[in-house]
Amino acid sequence: MENLAKKYNPKDFEDRIYKMWEENGYFKAEANKDKEPFTIVLPPPNITGQLHMGHALDHILQDILIRWKRMDGYEALWLPGTDHASIATEVKVVKKLRREGIEKEQIGREKFLEKAWEWKDEYGGRITDQMKKLGNSCDWSRERFTMDEGCSKAVNDVFVKLYEEGLIYRGNRIINWCPDCLTSLSDIEVEHEDKDGNYYYVKYHFVDNKDEYLTIATTRPETIFGDTAIAVHPDDERYQKYIGKKVIVPLVGREIEIIADEYPDMEKGTGALKITPSHDPNDFAIGKRHNLEEISCIDEKGVMNTYAGNYKGMDRYECRKAFVQDLKSNNLIVKIEKNNHSVGTCYRCNTVIEPRISDQWFVKMQPLAGPAIKAVKDSKTKFVPERFDKIYFHWLENIRDWCISRQLWWGHRIPAYYCQDCGETIVAKKPPEKCTKCGSENLNQDEDVLDTWFSSALWPFSTLGWPEETKDLEYFYPTNVLVTGYDIIFFWVVRMMFSGLEHMNEVPFKHVLIHGLVRDAQGNKMSKSLGNGVDPLEVIDEYGADALRFMLITGLTPGNDTRYQVDKLEASRNFANKLWNASRFVLMNLKEDEELTPNIKTLKNEDKWILSRMSKVIEEVNKNLENFDLGLALHKVYDFIWNEYCDWYIELVKPRLYGENEEDKQNSLYVLVNIMKDMLKLLHPFMPFITEEIWQNLPGNEEPLITSQWPKVNIENKYPKSVEEINFAMEIIKSIRNIKAEMDVKPSKTIKGYFIPKNKKYKEHLKSIERHLNNLINLEEMTILENKDIIDEDTASAVIDGLEIYLPLSELIDFEKEKERLKKEKEKLESEIKRAEGKLKNKSFVEKAPVKIVEEEREKLKKYKDMNAKVLSRIKQINS
Ligand SMILES: [Zn+2]
Ligand SMILES: [Zn+2]
């Protein structure tokens, strides 16, 4: 039988196999009372996204778990979908329109949304197509979108429910504002970077004594137009006498009061703070405490408004320059100090954010955070590794109300309606026809949309049919594992947790498996700006998806970063080749349609050894998978296939396959095929394509591998004695191979040997493995002795546990020939040494050649000297 292609070439079969799986519905899952469910919801990638290495790692981890559980008898559902990515998509569509010379305001909301849907139809499916290349076994018939009908209904229902419970409110609050994207941002959408800046020490003269002044340090003098107070600490002795007095806002001329508040840090700056409630969140809070006026002097685009007087119309930074210049010329600046400080920037466009007071919608977080903290404390949901619960707790314990409105058009429009006649606000699942208060039909819907995370927070249950009480929801919820990177624990995991608890009364998942980033070979973060990103699709094109999966999982431990490494890809290809060739070897020895008829009673020790080992490996792989230690599980499977099956077992049984004993032949084929089937199963979740392709070519497989049964630990396959014997044989073979290599003897050279076993047990072992020593190291004659007294020849020796081995040198080498060979070797090495020494003595070479070349020459010389020393000791040994 020889149906498997001669060469392993993943391109020949990966796409074909994926199609076969998908067309036959093997990825599909249904509520099934006879089985236990195992559910994973895919973190929905943005429709603007292209598959990158981070997704690849994230998805492969999920696919491994799903494939394993599917084979292990669970109703395994991996539910896929995409996220509408409100701000990211809107930015893309706006840019596209701009290239066509259109501004979104020109065409209006409805037309813009049409364009956005067109964009989604064209590009939104890109990432899901790419995902299929990885081998992702998602149930595509259930694919969802955060803005599809069901998810949108869930969003509206949640909004109305939380509003009615008083957990959603509208308020005039200070928020993070991006003057370029023209939208509010939540705290986590703001990134912080250190920027060069200055501390400007500005004079605020007293109203009642114009010769004296207070010095106030500020990093943002352009906000002075919005100052409405000066705050000092009530315990600050320097300033106590001024509390209640008034100062003049420099160049503006407005009078403001000096107030006492606990907030100012007496050690920082001058200890006195200018308070600008409209442009700083801390000042905003102080303003609320003291009922201060809120003066906003910068508009939504970052441009100065009428409050800035002469500076009106200037960009905020332009104004800063001009205003400082004018302060200087009016002798209102004491000094300017350089200082680096952290500024918030927009995570989308990197523009420095501008705190801004506006009307926004908020979710009250305090009541929702409590149950979410408790659920993890009670281990209802566990983080893997556990240490990540700290990030989770820290975030929830310090949470502020969540600003959920965004000044965008692409997204879920807020279901709030304002009566134009009486001012009533109506929040409703469906657009109301009349004002509930005055009956007016003159209603306008809120212009804003919801934060993208508002809908993805509902993902684990909205995708299963919520708010309907569906069978799916009952069966598949709560899900089992959420797989995600540590960077979105607070963005997303936290929000799914409190949403699940609030709306389903149950945690959304039992485990959160956290993984790290995929870094480049040097350990740097992959990024567009560094240009060091590696496209997973290119890797798949060159090496195949199995190789990419192998590379990303090998050596991976939960929670830690991993690296993209070409040598691991090469290793993976070597491994695939090895497995491929071993399979071809087995297949070539099978006859077409041959029913194997083994006799279990006459299995040999190597058969029993590999059966025992297989059982043990299944046990270990199960344990590692249960612990989410996927990297370790893969390592066990890899090690077994490469070392034990390919390198040992096949070699140990070869003579029987070519021998005359038919029963023996049947037995070895039976074991070869059955172990191969089990190891293909164990490897399948990690390398699904190659394993399925080989499986399809093995005889007697009616079912595809993907739905075959996960191997069971077989307690009958425990043969400790055979395991001991084969281990013993392997140790002997390895040490004799070593001796042959050291002596430059061909591995195939036949030899004789004296063996001194420690006791009767090892003596027995020797007899039962003699066959293997004959076959694998050409041991022609085995002499078992009590002690070494009667060995009078020159020998090479080795000691292993339970045994001393002596090989007569006369058997290993032909003395005359060897002397001749060593002589030649010595001459060659000596001439090389002379040449290298000459070169290194040459001053002009050492001084002028590149350091690297000189270094190489030194290393060469050292190597030749070492080799020569070995040759000399061999010559001495032979002559003695
Ligand atoms: Zn922005
Ligand atoms: Zn009304």
Q: What's the distance, CA 613 to chain centroid?
A: 32
**How far is residue 485 from each of residues 61, 388, 479, 507, 785, measured CA to CA in Å?**
11, 11, 18, 19, 62
Beta-carbon contacts of 382 under 8 Å, excluding residues fewer than 6 positions away, are: 376, 510, 511, 512
Let me know if 535 is exposed, middle or buried by CB neighbors in 10 A (0-12, 13-18, 19+).
middle
Look up residue 298 and give its DSSP letter. Answer: B
Beta-carbon contacts of 165 under 8 Å, excluding residues fewer than 6 positions away, are: none
316 C-alpha vs ligand 1 centroid, how far in Å?
A: 16
Q: What is the pLDDT of residue 443?
A: 96
Answer whether 836's CB lies under 8 Å from 856's CB.
Answer: no
21 C-alpha vs ligand 1 centroid, how far in Å?
A: 43
User: Tokens 């047990």 correspond to what residue?
Assistant: 761
168 C-alpha vs ligand 1 centroid, how far in Å?
A: 25
409 C-alpha vs ligand 2 centroid, how far in Å?
A: 25
- Collapsing DSSP states into helix, strand and coil, what is residue 23? helix
Structure confidence at residue 2 as a pLDDT band (50, 70, 90):
low
353 C-alpha vs ligand 1 centroid, how far in Å?
A: 8
Let me know if 264 is exposed, middle or buried by CB neighbors in 10 A (0-12, 13-18, 19+).
buried
**Nearest ligand by distance to the CA of 420:** 2
Tokens of 654: 């070869």
Tokens of 750: 């036949």
Average pLDDT over residues 37-44: 97
Let me know if 613 is exposed, middle or buried by CB neighbors in 10 A (0-12, 13-18, 19+).
buried
Answer whether 473's CB lies under 8 Å from 508's CB.
Answer: no
Q: What's the distance, CA 359 to chain centroid?
A: 38
**Nearest ligand by distance to the CA of 177:** 1
Report the first-to-last Cα separation within the chain, whole angstroms. Answer: 56
Answer whether 92's CB lies under 8 Å from 12's CB.
Answer: no
Tokens of 771: 């066959």
357 C-alpha vs ligand 2 centroid, how far in Å?
A: 26
Max CA distance (Å), the chain: 118
432 C-alpha vs ligand 2 centroid, how far in Å?
A: 11
Cross-strand partners of 754: 783, 806
Answer whether 546's CB lies under 8 Å from 690's CB.
Answer: yes
Closest to 482 (Cα-Cα) out of 450, 451, 439, 513? 513
401 C-alpha vs ligand 2 centroid, how far in Å?
A: 29
188 C-alpha vs ligand 1 centroid, how far in Å?
A: 13
**Whole-number Å distance between alpha carbons of 67 and 62:** 9
Answer whether 363's CB lies under 8 Å from 495's CB.
Answer: no
Tokens of 242: 């001024």
Beta-carbon contacts of 831 under 8 Å, excluding residues fewer than 6 positions away, are: none
pLDDT digit string, tens, across residues 520-549 = 988 888 877 778 889 999 999 999 999 999
Answer whether 836's CB lies under 8 Å from 857's CB.
Answer: yes
**Nearest ligand by distance to the CA of 185:** 1
Beta-carbon contacts of 14 under 8 Å, excluding residues fewer than 6 positions away, are: 133, 135, 540, 544, 545, 546, 689
Tokens of 104: 């979104």
Closest to 331 (Cα-Cα) out of 461, 215, 484? 215
The 3-state secondary structure of 393-440 reads HHHHHCCCCEECEECCCCCCECCEEEECCCCCEEECCCCCCCCCCCCC
**Nearest ligand by distance to the CA of 417:** 2
Answer whether 218's CB lies under 8 Å from 273's CB.
Answer: no
Is residue 1 predicted with pLDDT exceeding 60?
no
Is the C-alpha dihedral spanning 681, 687, 688, 690 positive or negative? negative
350 C-alpha vs ligand 1 centroid, how far in Å?
A: 6
**Nearest ligand by distance to the CA of 435:** 2
**Nearest ligand by distance to the CA of 182:** 1
635 C-alpha vs ligand 1 centroid, how far in Å?
A: 44
113 C-alpha vs ligand 2 centroid, how far in Å?
A: 29
Look up residue 266 and give its DSSP letter. Answer: T
- Which residue would you say has higher pLDDT here, 315 or 174? 315
Please state, as a whole number, how many other Cβ atoms lie within 10 Å of the Cβ of residue 377. Answer: 11
Tokens of 789: 């007294």
Q: What is the pLDDT of residue 255?
A: 95
**Nearest ligand by distance to the CA of 439:** 2
Q: Given the DSSP bridges, would you call strands 229-232 and 255-260 parallel, antiparallel or unpaired? A: parallel
415 C-alpha vs ligand 2 centroid, how far in Å?
A: 16
Tokens of 153: 């209904």
**Whole-number Å distance between alpha carbons of 401 and 404:** 9
421 C-alpha vs ligand 2 centroid, how far in Å?
A: 5
**Nearest ligand by distance to the CA of 442:** 2
Closest to 683 (Cα-Cα) out of 612, 627, 625, 723? 625
406 C-alpha vs ligand 2 centroid, how far in Å?
A: 25
pLDDT above 90 coverage of the chain, percent: 76
pLDDT above 70 coverage of the chain, percent: 100
- Collapsing DSSP states into helix, strand and coil, what is residue 377? helix
**Nearest ligand by distance to the CA of 87:** 1
**Whole-number Å distance between alpha carbons of 850 and 838:** 17
424 C-alpha vs ligand 2 centroid, how far in Å?
A: 5
**Nearest ligand by distance to the CA of 436:** 2
435 C-alpha vs ligand 2 centroid, how far in Å?
A: 5
442 C-alpha vs ligand 2 centroid, how far in Å?
A: 8
Q: What is the pLDDT of residue 185?
A: 86
Is residue 207 predicted with pLDDT exceeding 90?
yes
**Nearest ligand by distance to the CA of 440:** 2
pLDDT digit string, tens, across residues 585-629 = 999 998 877 788 889 899 999 999 999 999 999 999 999 999 999
348 C-alpha vs ligand 2 centroid, how far in Å?
A: 39
**Nearest ligand by distance to the CA of 350:** 1
Structure confidence at residue 676 as a pLDDT band (50, 70, 90):
very high
Q: Given the DSSP bridges, would you call strands 246-248 and 405-406 parallel, antiparallel or unpaired? A: unpaired
Answer whether 497's CB lies under 8 Å from 503's CB.
Answer: no
**Nearest ligand by distance to the CA of 423:** 2
**Whole-number Å distance between alpha carbons of 343 and 787:** 81
- Which residue would you say has higher pLDDT here, 124 or 630? 630
pLDDT digit string, tens, across residues 119-171 = 999 998 899 899 999 999 999 999 999 999 999 999 999 999 999 999 999 99
**Nearest ligand by distance to the CA of 301:** 1
193 C-alpha vs ligand 1 centroid, how far in Å?
A: 15
How many CA atoms, within 13 angstroms, populate the side-chain half-sphere of residue 88? 15
pLDDT digit string, tens, across residues 228-268 = 999 999 889 999 999 999 999 999 999 999 999 989 998 88
405 C-alpha vs ligand 2 centroid, how far in Å?
A: 23
Answer whether 82's CB lies under 8 Å from 47's CB.
Answer: yes
359 C-alpha vs ligand 2 centroid, how far in Å?
A: 20
163 C-alpha vs ligand 2 centroid, how far in Å?
A: 19
pLDDT digit string, tens, across residues 395-437 = 899 888 898 999 899 999 999 999 999 999 999 999 999 999 9
1 C-alpha vs ligand 1 centroid, how far in Å?
A: 63
Is residue 107 predicted with pLDDT exceeding 90?
yes
Task: Tell me what the pLDDT averaged over the chain comes to.
Answer: 93
91 C-alpha vs ligand 1 centroid, how far in Å?
A: 9
**Nearest ligand by distance to the CA of 90:** 1
**Nearest ligand by distance to the CA of 179:** 1
Average pLDDT over residues 282-292: 89
14 C-alpha vs ligand 2 centroid, how far in Å?
A: 63
195 C-alpha vs ligand 1 centroid, how far in Å?
A: 17
431 C-alpha vs ligand 2 centroid, how far in Å?
A: 14
345 C-alpha vs ligand 1 centroid, how far in Å?
A: 8
Q: Cis bond leading into 688, ω under 30°? A: no
**Whole-number Å distance between alpha carbons of 270 and 839:** 70
Amino acid at 515: H
170 C-alpha vs ligand 2 centroid, how far in Å?
A: 18
Is residue 707 predicted with pLDDT exceeding 80?
yes
823 C-alpha vs ligand 2 centroid, how far in Å?
A: 109
**Nearest ligand by distance to the CA of 426:** 2
Tokens of 34: 């006879």
Answer whether 294's CB lies under 8 Å from 357's CB.
Answer: yes
Structure confidence at residue 496 as a pLDDT band (50, 70, 90):
very high
Answer whether 685's CB lies under 8 Å from 63's CB.
Answer: yes
Look up residue 206 and give its DSSP letter. Answer: B
409 C-alpha vs ligand 1 centroid, how far in Å?
A: 15
Q: What is the pLDDT of residue 832?
A: 92
